[in-house]
Structure 1
Amino acid sequence: MSQSLSAIARDRNIRYFMISFTDLFGVQRAKLVPAESIDAIASSGAGFAGFAAWLDQTPADPDILAFPDVDQLFQLPWQPDVAWLPADLYTPDGNAVDQTPRLVLKRVLAKAEEIGLRIKTGVECEYFLLSASGETISDGRDRQSKPCYDQQALMRRYDVIREICDAMLTLGWGPYQNDHEDANGQFEMNWTYSDALVTSDRHAFFKYMVKSIAEKHGLRATFMPKPFAHLTGNGCHMHLSAWDPEGKENLFYDPNGMLGLSDVGYQFIGGVLHSAEALCAITNPSVNSYKRINAPVTTSGATWSPNTISYSGNNRTHMIRIPDAGRFELRLADGSANPYLLAAAVIAAGLDGIANKRDPGPRCDNNNYTEPLPVGTVKQLPAYLLDALRKFESDTILSEALGAAFSTAYPKLKRQAWNEYSAHISSWELDTTLDC
Structure 2
Amino acid sequence: MLLSELARDRGIRYFLISFTDLFGVQRSKLVPAQSIDEMAENGAGFAGFAAWLDMTPADPDILAMPDRDSLFQLPWKPEVAWMPADLCDIHGQPMIDTPRLLLKKMVAAAADQGYRIKTGVECEFFLLSGEAHQISDSSDRAAKPCYDQQALMRRYEVISEICDGMLSLGWKPYQNDHEDANGQFEMNWHYDDVLVTADRQAFFKYMVKSIAEKHGFNATFMPKPFATLTGNGCHTHLSVWDNEGKINLFTDTTGSSELSTLGYQFIGGVLESAAALCAFANPSVNSYKRINAPVTLSGATWSPNTISYGGNNRTHTIRIPDFGRFELRLADGAANPYLLAAAIIATGLDGIERKIDPGDRCDNNSYDSPPSDSVKLLPNNLLDALRCLKSNVILTETLGTSFVESYLKLQHQQWNQYSHHISSWELEHTLDC
Length-normalised TM-score, structure 2: 0.99
Query: How far does the alpha carbon of each residue in 1:67-109 deviate from its partner, in whole angstroms, 9 at most, with x for none?
Result: 0001110000000000000000000112111221000100011
Measure how far apart 1:339 and its partner are. Answer: 0.4
- What CA distance in whole angstroms lies between the structure 2 residues aligned with 1:257 and 1:107? 33
Alignment correspondent of 1:319: 317
What is the distance in 1 between the residues matched to 2:391 and 2:5?
Answer: 50
Matched ranges for 1:173-184 at <5 A: 173-184=171-182
Task: Determine what percentage of the aligned residue pairs are the same residue.
Answer: 73
Aligned-partner residue type, residue 35 of structure 2: S
Check conservation: 2:124, 2:232, Cα contact below 8 A: yes
Q: SS where residue 138 of structure 2 aligns? A: coil
Partner of 1:289: 287
What's the CA shift for 1:404?
A: 2.4
For the pair 1:48 / 2:39, whether they are aligned, the reply is no
**3-state SS of 2:228 partner:** coil
Cα RMSD between the aligned structures? 0.7
The answer to whether residue 161 in structure 2 is matched with residue 163 in structure 1 is yes
Offset at residue 256 of structure 1 (A) = 2.5
Q: Is the 8 A contact 1:73 1:84 kept in 2?
A: yes
> 1:397 aligned to 2:394?
yes
Q: Matches of 1:232 and 1:132 in 2, distance apart? A: 21
1:98–1:403 Cα contact (<8 Å) kept = no
Q: Which residue of 2 aligns with 1:434?
A: 431
Alignment match, 1:147: 145
Q: Which amino acid is 1:169 matched to?
A: L
Structure 2 SS opposite 1:210: helix
Shift of 1:371: 1.9
* Partner Cα distance (1:343, 1:257) in 2: 28
How far is the alpha carbon of 1:150 from its aligned partner? 0.1
Q: What is aligned with 2:341?
A: 343
Aligned equivalent of 1:126: 124
Deviation sequence 1:392-421 (CA, Å, 0-9, x none): 011110011112231111010000000000
Displacement of 1:65 after TM fit?
0.2
CA distance in 2, matches of 1:421, 1:115: 42
Distance 1:171 1:281 in 2: 32
1:297-312 aligned at under 5 Å gives the runs: 297-312=295-310
The answer on 1:420 being equivalent to 2:420 is no
Structure-2 separation of matches of 1:407 and 1:183:
34
State how far apart, in whole Å, the 2-side matches of 1:87 and 1:159 are. Answer: 31
User: Any gaps of 5 or more consecutive residues in structure 1?
Assistant: none
**Which of 405, 408, 411 is matched with 1:411 structurally?**
408
Structure 1 counterpart of 2:5: 7
Q: Tell whether the 8 Å contact from 1:68 to 1:85 is kept in structure 2 after alignment.
A: yes
CA contact (8 A) 2:306 2:371 kept: no
Give the letter aligned to residue 429 of structure 1: E
Kept in 1: contact 2:258–2:320 (CA 8 A): no
**2:94 partner amino acid:** A
Match of 2:244 in 1: 246
Q: What letter is aligned with 1:176?
A: Y
The 5 Å alignment of 1:30-41 reads: 30-41=28-39
TM-score, structure 1 as length reference: 0.99
2:14 alignment partner AA = Y
What is the number of equivalent residue pairs in this alignment?
A: 433
User: What is the CA distance between 1:434 and its match in structure 2?
Assistant: 0.6
Q: Secondary structure at the match of 1:241?
A: strand
* Displacement of 1:369: 1.1
User: What pairs with 1:152-301 in structure 2 (closer than 5 Å)?
Assistant: 152-256=150-254, 259-301=257-299
Hey, what's the Cα distance between the residues in 1 that align with 2:145 and 2:28?
37
**Contact in 2 for aligned 1:322/1:328 (Cα 8 Å):** yes
- Cα deviation 1:288-329 (Å, max 9, x = unaligned): 000000000000000000000000000000000000000000
| 1:378 match | 375
Partner residue of 1:387? 384
1:251–1:389: structure 2 CA closer, same or farther, 3 Å change rule?
A: same
- Give the whole-Å Cα distance in 1 for the aligned partners of 2:70 and 2:402: 26
Q: Which moved more, 1:28-37 or 1:94-103?
A: 94-103
Alignment check: 8 A CA contact 2:238 2:327 kept: yes
Q: Secondary structure at the match of 2:362?
A: coil
Contact conserved, 1:98 with 1:405, CA < 8 A, in 2? Answer: no
Matched-pair contact (CA < 8 Å) for 1:255–1:325: no
User: Partner letter of residue 113 of structure 1?
Assistant: A
CA distance in 1, matches of 2:283, 2:309: 22
Question: 1:255, CA displacement in angstroms?
Answer: 4.0
Structure 1 residue 175: Cα displacement: 0.0
Amino acid at match of 1:402: L
Further displaced range: 249-258 or 200-209? 249-258
Partner of 1:389, secondary structure, is: helix
Partner of 2:377: helix, strand, or coil? coil
Write the distance in 1 (CA, Å) between the matches of 2:370 and 2:298.
Answer: 19
1:259 Cα deviation from its structure 2 partner: 3.4
Deviations 1:156-175 (A, max 9, x none): 00000000000000000000
Alpha-carbon distance in structure 2 between the residues aligned to 1:396 and 1:89? 26
Contact 1:21 1:86 in 2 (8 A): yes
Paired residue secondary structure (2:7): helix
Q: 2:156 and 2:371 mapped to 1: Cα distance?
A: 42
Deviations 1:35-58 (A, max 9, x none): 000000110000000000000000
* Distance (Å, rounded) in 1 between the aligned partners of 2:84 and 2:371: 44
2:15 counterpart (3, 17, 22): 17
2: CA distance, partners of 1:292 / 1:229: 9
Q: Do 1:123 and 1:236's aligned partners in 2 also have CA atoms closer than 8 Å? A: yes
| CA distance, structure 2, for counterparts of residue 173 and residue 259 of structure 1 | 30
* Cα pair 2:198 2:341 within 8 Å, conserved: yes
1:364 pairs with 343, 362, 365, which one?
Answer: 362
Structure 1, 23-32 or 401-410: larger mean CA deviation: 401-410
